[in-house]
Amino acid sequence: MSILVMKFGGTSVATLDRIRRAAKRVGREVANGHDVIVIVSAMAGETNRLVDLVGEAGQGSGPLYDAREHDAVVSSGENVTAGLMALTLQEMDVPARSWQGWQVPLRTDGAHGSARILEIPREAIDRKFAEGFRVAVVAGFQGVSPEGRTTTLGRGGSDTTAVAFAAAFDAVRCDIYTDVDGVYTTDPRIAQKARKLDRIAFEEMLELASLGAKVLQTRSVELAMRYGVTLRVLSSFEDNGGEAGTLVCAEEDIVESALVSGIAYSRDEAKVTLLDVEDRPGIAAAIFGPLAGAGVNVDMIVQNISEEGRTDMTFSCPEGQVARARKAMEEAEIEFRAIDVEDSVAKVSVVGIGMRSHAGVASQMFDALAREGVNIRVITTSEIKISVLIDRKYMELAVQALHDAFELERAS
């Protein structure tokens, strides 16, 4: 019998009424002939509440609390949801049971708080399906370390859990139920003409997710692309038909790729420049190695032309990581005159696999921004993406202008 994976996010299971609504969706898929693996998040707000409790409990010893106990606490929200979902399904006469990560077992490495999945054995769940159970409700976000301790996968980890199960069980599809009805050409709160996409390629979704789109977690898209898991993003709050939502799929499953599929943005960016750095072999490694070690997520990188053996090195990072970046640079074994930080910038990007076979996207993008008087501070490009750093106050204007310039309100 075919297996379908269905994942419900925190807003989709925020109350018992919403759990019942989600359970009815699961029941319909069982009636359609599927065995179903349901991945659930904690009820909306619960993980934040648990994280706060851990923080309060750890005040006596500062921030150096035991990460293993942190994971034991913050993963418990998913256990509650899984049990409630299984009970609700049983009330509907759907044979179901709940599973915690250690019971599957979903095996991870020992990196508490940001564990990576190593293996998902099928035997235990397959055995229950063979016994007549139709639904396995699995607590998302969690696994078990080689030492037998509960681990967590990081924020958004339930998406990754769902894709990993879909890959391990050769699922026909992985449906991600959330509070939006699909992937849009840009944020509808900024551009009223934003259009829901019927399909989007893995590479495009990965770029959009990494650039700030909150629909799917980046690691889940990476995993889906690697194992060829077809994703469908749907709303929990609408009656979805068979073709509803947005399919995230391989490029060859899209008849004709749009030149630009979407506009992404990241509001809280900072531009950091190391002034007057020695220009020598290995200087980039000497700069970005310590930044990586400090957990700074560097994105855009620009090096100025060298003059008399000295250069300026500019990079962008999240605004909240500037202090970490500054400390890492001050402690690194490099010489520079000063660190210049501009913390009122935003990143705006156009994304589309159609760029591979069409010229002129950059020109069209820059013309649109110029017409609105938006000055570009930094530019970076890849095969399917062009990103610019601009003054934050112009971010929404830039997103709207680019959405109009590429006529994204029109279906391709």
Is 373 labeled as ligand-binding? no
Which residue blocks in 32-156 are alpha helix, DSSP H? 46-57, 67-74, 76-91, 123-130
Please tell me whether 47 is known to bind a ligand. yes
Q: What is the distance between the alpha carbons of residues 309 and 118, in angstroms, rounded to a whole number?
A: 46
215 is in an annotated binding site: yes
The response to whether 189 counts as a known ligand-binding position is yes
Closest CA to 27 of 79, 91, 98, 84: 91
Q: Are 60 and 28 in contact (CB under 8 A)?
A: no
214 appears as a binding residue in the annotation: yes
- DSSP string across 289-337: HHHHHTT-----EEEPPPBTTEEEEEEEEEGGGHHHHHHHHHHSS---S
**CA 19 distance to own-chain centroid:** 23
Nearest CA to 175 among 4, 2, 1? 4
- Tokens at 250, concatenated: 């391989």
Give the span between the Cα atoms of 282 and 304, in whole angstroms: 16
Q: Is the peptide bond before 105 cis (omega within 30 degrees of 0)?
A: yes
The Cα–Cα gap between 246 and 230 comes to 10
The alpha carbon dihedral of 168, 172, 173, 174 has a sign of negative
The answer on whether 152 is annotated among ligand-binding residues is no
User: How far is the C-alpha of 248 from the C-alpha of 379, rounded, in Å?
Assistant: 28
Q: For residue 39, what are the CA distances in angstroms to 26, 50, 367?
A: 11, 20, 45
Residues 48/75, Cβ–Cβ less than 8 Å: no
Residue 129 annotated in ligand binding: no
Is beta strand 310-318 parallel, antiparallel or unpaired with respect to 338-351? unpaired
Binding site: residue ranges?
A: 7-10, 47, 78, 178-179, 184, 189, 214-215
Binding site for ATP: residue ranges?
A: 7-10, 178-179, 184, 189, 214-215
Binding site for substrate: residue ranges?
A: 47, 78
